[in-house]
Amino acid sequence: MKEKLEEIQTQGLKEIENANSISELQEVRKNLTGKKSELSKVLKSLGSLSLDERKEIGIKTTEIKNIFLDKLKEKEDMIVASKKVLDEPIDLTLPGTKINRGTLHPITQMCYDLNDAFLSLGFEVFSEDDISSEKFAFDNLNFAPDHPARQMMDTYWLEGTEDKAANERLCLRPHLTGASVRYLLKHGAPARFVYPGRVYRNEDIDSGHERAFFQYEALIVDKDMSFSSGMVMIQTILEKVFGREIKVRMREGFFPFVEPGYEIDMECLVCGGKGCKVCKHNGWLEIMPGGVIHPNVLKSAGLDPDEWTGFYVNIGLERLVMMRYGVDDIRLFHSADLRFLDQFK
Amino acid sequence: MKVSLNWIKKYIDLPKDLTPKQIAYDLTLRTVEVEDVLDTSEKYRDIVVGKILEVKNHPNADELRICITDIGEDHPVQIVCGGSNLYKGEYVVVSKPGAKVVWHGEGEPVTIGKSKIRGEESYGMICSACEVYLDYFFPAKDSSEIVDLKDVDCKPGQNIADIVFMNDTVFEIDNKSLTNRPDLWGHYGIARELSAIYDVPLKELPKIDIDPNLPEYKIEIKEPTKCQRYVGIEIENVYVKESPLWMKALIINGGMRPISAIVDITNYVMLAVGQPLHAFDRTHVEGEKIIVRNARKGEKLLLLDNATLNFTEDDLVISDVNNAIGLAGIRGGKKDSILPDTKGIVLEVANFTAGTIRKTGKRFDEKTDASIRYEKNMDTERVDLGVSMSLQLIKELFKESKVVAYGDNYPVKTKRSVIDVPQEFLDIRLGKVLTRETIEKVLKLLGYDVEYKNNIYHVIAPVWRSTGDVSIKDDVMGDIARLLGYQSFEPKPLTIKFDHAVRQNDVLLERRLREYLAFRCGFNEIYTYPWIDIKYINAAKIDTTNSVRLATPPSPTLATLRSSLVPGMLEAVSKNLRYFDNFKMFEIAQVFEKGEYHESTLEETLPIHKKYLTGCIVGKDAKKIFYELKGVIESMASYCHMEELSFVKKEKPSWADSDVYLNVVCKNEIIGSFGLVSVFTMMESKIKRTNVAVFELNSDKFIPYASRTNNFEALPQFPLVAKDLSILVDNDVTFEEISKAIKSKVKYLEFIEEYKGDQIPDGKKSIMLHIKIGNDDSTMNSEQINDSMNNIIKILNDKCGAELRRE
């Protein structure tokens, strides 16, 4: 009997060893541990034996069954571990499925980055219409009556209004600043707001000049403010947009609607301020004009300049985008050319 | 504008250790933008004085000579030269090996090396003027004439830049940064700024007293609002000759060209103090009198280049008793020009107002160095500087000259601005308390007079800043801040206030719309110009009756401002078809039409503005792109969190196909449309072999939700049964009819596909639906399922004539 059991064990382990799939293994399990297995037969034939012998054989049989179960489990794990999802190998170098995603215009993206930064500082977003009157585009902003920008050559005046004046002479706005007075007339002070938008100038176009381009202007109006507060604002915004500390300097600049006025330069990001072609070898890039709102502008907005003061900055969005990506032709922004736009995913 | 450092040094002694780069930096931060710093001696490197010791014939060439030349080195050198005017003892200009010369004055400079010319050694070359940038200093009769330095004090080996006073530094200043500063349009003004920046004294300009017994030169000013002062000086015994080298050098480095001594003096004075001058030939000023008046109707002026200026009655002219002899402040005429036969002059030192000059200059499209300065609005006292400096120079260059008459008509005098600046104002706005001493010092250096009383600075601005530049206390504050350097003021943090918390739903909605179209629907955002080519407007059949137009459009076909974004979109499609077959684009922008709208005040009437959102899908399969576009609009409201949109078919957009379009409705109002672009419109827009589906919506009409409003529905408690249903209906049965018929009988209804063709009888179509049915209070048993399905099929049959399709 003992020999028989040993033979069953040896034979059984061999069968387990030889099984190569889960289904084969299931068959083997049935043969070795099922009701019709050899082991069951052995147990059924115990009746003729003594109690002691029965006991001994019974223990031995259970032992063998447990060995089978362990081995079956081991083999099953082995087969599962080596099992593959695909029957055939695939080319892992084939490109993945394309995500069908469009793009926001790079100008819009920059504008939204700035919005996020300004909104976090409690600024409101305001927008003015594209067409404005001379009153809002020039008179309110302290432009001298004979300022060259008022002439036909520089600004796009509307047909039929070009020979009129002030409220009746209409144009595609040449800058955003007129919107500042509109906002202040509507909401009063204190105020902090940004007003992005497109402006228009009658110019010859080339890789550096456009007739329509985007600006982003911000204004704070408050009491007892010093001009240097504006510098904090600029620094904060540039840091948020470029994601790191940016060196900024303010220098003398002249614009009719500010006094004093500044040109604001940032450290050239291309060379890190050492001097390169992009910054004309001086390490600084002119990025935005700014300044303290002129008392005459405050008066146009119905505010007392002895009580209120404020600070403007005006960012040229094209310039910032061109810096960000190294774009070298400003005309691309209005080209609607998808070969260009599709790059800004 | 160009500024010569040598010239500046005539007026101030700069600190010794100061580099030109530092000066440029300080000027840029505090006064004007310096764009470039140039070393003018650079191009004269290794070009020296040589003395010819011996002239020999060249053994191999008749036209060449061999010159043994002393160039200040240990031994004389041998130079081969073809010059026509070589002689022993001549002082010449020698380019040593390494120097750069321009061959015969043409093309790019090349570097000279040691060479053999026709077998003879030549150590560099002996140069003519045009080869080494000396044309203005030593004008030559022809190009074979080499420079002969016989009248010049020099010795062999001396660098030529020293001889012609070109050891100088030139600052290129951005004219834009000078527009508000008439005082800086001359070297003396820049020197004054530097004197204030570095706290060094500014030298006073010499003042020449006019002999009160001189006969009066008659000057009549008929337009004192245009000409505020006119000084005329009659001078004899002056004539055309070359200016001294030092003056030529400064004029060149100041950005002008030397012409002749008289003209050079007028230009020199202008570059020095910013005051333009003009010299008329005395003998041609008829009647010995200058009249400043408006031009007569039809009056003309012949110019030196034989062109003619035709005046209008608005133009201000300088006239003798008969005719105009010059266009005031811009240029003179031919008759009275300084020519070789000139023996005496009438010198004009005058003040014309900015507006007058700008207007006239613009009409004649003329900008001269004089008019640029007048346009900046100059003070009338500067005339005195011009008079003194010019008389001094004329005496210096023409010893024999004599002033014979003098006239000064001075109807309007520039008043100095008087401004009170409270101490407290400065403390707050500067963000820093400055001492009285600091403030007074800075202002005095800039030419202000200051008196401090009762915490107020009583300030009188210098006359050269009083023509508009400085008029209010903020201007004074600005001057103090810039001169101390903006960097020297500590930035003060801004405070955040909670009542500033901002949420602007309309702003947020626009962003969601853009992001929905770009990121969810795969559109690329474009920007196009507001002026649209009439070709595309006509192609889209857009009515231009109410269009707003530009007076001076970029080109004649671009005069119309858009009243729809569709024409611009068509243009963009036609351009991109060159590179792509399937694409989607959108644009958000304002459109315009005639009308009356008050944005800010009742006095201001603007045209109507609307903000449109327009997009397109381009692809060959018209049906597919139409349904794709419809899907985009169907989901827009829920994805972008705004008031629902629905569709009707009422008004065909001008650009749309006659059948395939729908109008979009929001709150019972049609706010836009979408559909396939008509064959006509595509053809006229040069859009070939494809189809375009377009939508255009007035985004002003969208109503943003204040927060997300998706509805929550409890999940079904009992399982639903899903069934696919394939039915055959007549062609004219719409999906809307089918869905209406069974909507109440199903929990869920989805359209899978529509099919016509093989195996479908003519006039019929097959529609596949996916439905889910179920009970609210229990799980459906198979009997209920059968009943429900049979019922649905019966209803479809009754209402839509549908039959179940068997596979």
Q: What is the pLDDT of residue B374?
A: 94
> Which H or E element spans position A25?
helix A22-33
Q: Is B545 on the interface with A (CB under 8 A)?
A: no
Q: Identify which of A316-320, A325-329, B200-204 has the greatest average pLDDT.
A: B200-204
**Chain A nearest-CA residue for B549:** A159
Q: Is B502 on the interface with A (CB under 8 A)?
A: yes
- Judged against a pLDDT cut of 80, whether residue A206 lies above it is answered with yes
Q: What is the pLDDT of residue A43?
A: 79
Task: From chain B, pick out residues whose CB is under 8 angstroms from the CB of A338.
Answer: 524, 576, 579-580, 583, 585
Q: In this predicted model, what pLDDT tens digit does every residue of B678-700 receive, in sequence order?
A: 999 999 999 999 999 999 999 99
C-alpha–C-alpha distance, residues B352 and B358, integer Å: 10
Task: From chain A, pick out residues whose CB is under 8 angstroms from the CB of B507.
Answer: 115, 125
- CB pair distance less than 8 Å for B28 and A107: no
Residue pairs spanning A and B at CB distance below 8 A: 237
Q: Indicate the residue of A102, A161, A261 with minimum beta-carbon distance to B524.
A: A102
Longest dimension (CA), chain A: 129
Distance from CA of A93 to the nearest CA of B (A): 26
- CB pair distance less than 8 Å for B493 and A229: yes
Q: Is B566 on the interface with A (CB under 8 A)?
A: no
Angle between helices A2-18 and A51-81 (to 10 degrees): 10
Distance from CA of A91 to the nearest CA of B (A): 28
Exposed/middle/buried for residue A232 (C-beta within 10 Å: 0-12, 13-18, 19+): middle
Task: From chain A, pick out residues whose CB is under 8 angstroms from the CB of B576.
Answer: 336-338
Distance from CA of A94 to the nearest CA of B (A): 23
C-alpha–C-alpha distance, residues B799 and B729, integer Å: 11
β-pairing verdict for A191-200 and A124-125 = parallel
Task: From chain A, pick out residues whose CB is under 8 angstroms from the CB of B500.
Answer: 122-123, 192
Dihedral of alpha carbons B462, B468, B474, B475, sign: negative
- CB pair distance less than 8 Å for A122 and B497: yes
Q: Indicate the residue of B517, B551, B584 with minimum beta-carbon distance to A158.
A: B551
Q: What is the pLDDT of residue A337?
A: 96
Distance from CA of B355 to the nearest CA of A (A): 6
Q: In this predicted model, what pLDDT tens digit does every residue of A273-293 receive, in sequence order?
A: 787 776 777 788 888 889 999
C-alpha–C-alpha distance, residues A169 and A151, integer Å: 12
Which residue in this structure is represented by tokens 């834009």? B176
Question: Tokens for B381?
Answer: 């006292």
Return the domain boundaries, chain A: 2-81, 106-341
Q: What is the pLDDT of residue B791?
A: 94
The CA-atom distances, in angstroms, between B369 and each of B185, B193, B278, B372, B530 are 10, 22, 12, 5, 37
Listed by number, the residues of chain B in 459-478 with a beta carbon closer than 8 Å to a beta carbon of chain A are: 468, 472, 474-475, 477-478
Q: Indicate the residue of A129, A250, A292 with minimum beta-carbon distance to B590.
A: A129
- What residues of chain B score a pLDDT lower than 50? none
**Chain A nearest-CA residue for B570:** A336
- CB pair distance less than 8 Å for B609 and A132: no
Task: From chain B, pick out residues whose CB is under 8 angstroms from the CB of A151.
Answer: 362
Q: What is the pLDDT of residue A252?
A: 85
Q: Is B544 on the interface with A (CB under 8 A)?
A: no
- Under 8 Å between Cβ of B665 and B644: no
- Under 8 Å between Cβ of B172 and B32: no
Q: In this predicted model, what pLDDT tens digit does every residue of A154-196 receive, in sequence order?
A: 899 999 999 998 999 999 999 999 999 999 999 998 999 999 9
Dihedral of alpha carbons B554, B557, B562, B563, sign: positive
- Judged against a pLDDT cut of 80, whether residue A48 lies above it is answered with no
Distance from CA of B562 to the nearest CA of A (A): 12
C-alpha–C-alpha distance, residues B767 and B771, integer Å: 13
Q: Is B500 on the interface with A (CB under 8 A)?
A: yes
- Under 8 Å between Cβ of B15 and B200: yes
- CB pair distance less than 8 Å for B549 and A158: yes
Task: From chain A, pick out residues whose CB is under 8 angstroms from the CB of B571.
Answer: 336
- CB pair distance less than 8 Å for A185 and B600: yes
Q: What is the pLDDT of residue A183?
A: 94
What is the interface pTM, i.e. ipTM, of the complex? 0.84
Q: Indicate the residue of B358, B575, B605 with minimum beta-carbon distance to A148.
A: B358
- CB pair distance less than 8 Å for A249 and B583: no
- CB pair distance less than 8 Å for B549 and A235: no
- CB pair distance less than 8 Å for B502 and A124: yes
Neighbours of A327 (CB within 10 A): 18
Give the class (CATH, top level) of A106-341: alpha beta
**Chain A nearest-CA residue for B596:** A168
For residue B219, what are the contacts with CB-CB under 8 A and spacing of at least 6? B230, B231, B232, B289, B290, B291, B292, B407, B408, B409
Q: What is the pLDDT of residue B795?
A: 94
Q: What is the pLDDT of residue A140?
A: 94
Buried residues in B686-696 as b, exposed as e (16+ CB within 10 A)? ebeebbbbbbb
**For testing contact with chain B, the best of A167, A228, A263 (most B CBs within 10 A):** A228
**Chain B nearest-CA residue for A226:** B429
- Under 8 Å between Cβ of A37 and A28: no
Strands of B43-153 (E only): list them. Answer: 47-58, 61-70, 77-81, 91-95, 100-101, 110-111, 114-117, 120-123, 125-126
Task: From chain A, pick out residues whose CB is under 8 angstroms from the CB of B428.
Answer: 224-226
Q: How sure is the predictor about A198, in pLDDT bands with cuts at 50, 70 and 90?
A: very high
**Chain B nearest-CA residue for A166:** B604
The larger pLDDT score, comparing residue A227 to residue B51, is at B51
Exposed/middle/buried for residue B426 (C-beta within 10 Å: 0-12, 13-18, 19+): buried
- Under 8 Å between Cβ of B360 and B330: yes
For residue B678, what are the contacts with CB-CB under 8 A and spacing of at least 6? B655, B656, B657, B658
The larger pLDDT score, comparing residue A221 to residue A228, is at A221
- CB pair distance less than 8 Å for A105 and B487: no
- Could you give the domains of chain B? 2-40+168-198 (3.30.56.10), 42-163 (2.40.50.140), 218-409 (3.50.40.10), 420-488 (3.30.56.10), 505-701 (3.30.930.10), 721-804 (3.30.70.380)
Q: Indicate the residue of A125, A162, A305 with minimum beta-carbon distance to B551.
A: A162
C-alpha–C-alpha distance, residues A266 and A284, integer Å: 6
Distance from CA of A112 to the nearest CA of B (A): 8
Q: Is B575 on the interface with A (CB under 8 A)?
A: yes
- CB pair distance less than 8 Å for A292 and B474: yes
Q: What is the pLDDT of residue B251?
A: 97
- CB pair distance less than 8 Å for B590 and A233: no
- CB pair distance less than 8 Å for A338 and B493: no
Q: In this predicted model, what pLDDT tens digit does every residue of A76-97 receive, in sequence order?
A: 898 888 888 888 889 899 988 8
Distance from CA of B359 to the nearest CA of A (A): 8
- CB pair distance less than 8 Å for A101 and B502: no
Q: What is the pLDDT of residue A244?
A: 81
Q: Identify which of A39-53, A241-255, B388-402, B491-505 has the greatest average pLDDT.
A: B388-402
Phi then psi dihedrals of residue B381, to 5 deg: -75, -20
β-pairing verdict for A258-267 and A248-253 = antiparallel
Listed by number, the residues of chain B in 315-374 with a beta carbon closer than 8 Å to a beta carbon of chain A are: 354-355, 358-359, 362
Q: What is the pLDDT of residue B454?
A: 94
Q: Indicate the residue of A112, A172, A227 with minimum beta-carbon distance to B530.
A: A172
Q: In this predicted model, what pLDDT tens digit does every residue of A119-151 receive, in sequence order?
A: 888 899 998 899 999 999 999 999 988 787 888
> What is the number of helices (H) and of strands (E) in chain A?
11, 9
Average confidence (pLDDT) over A217-235: 84
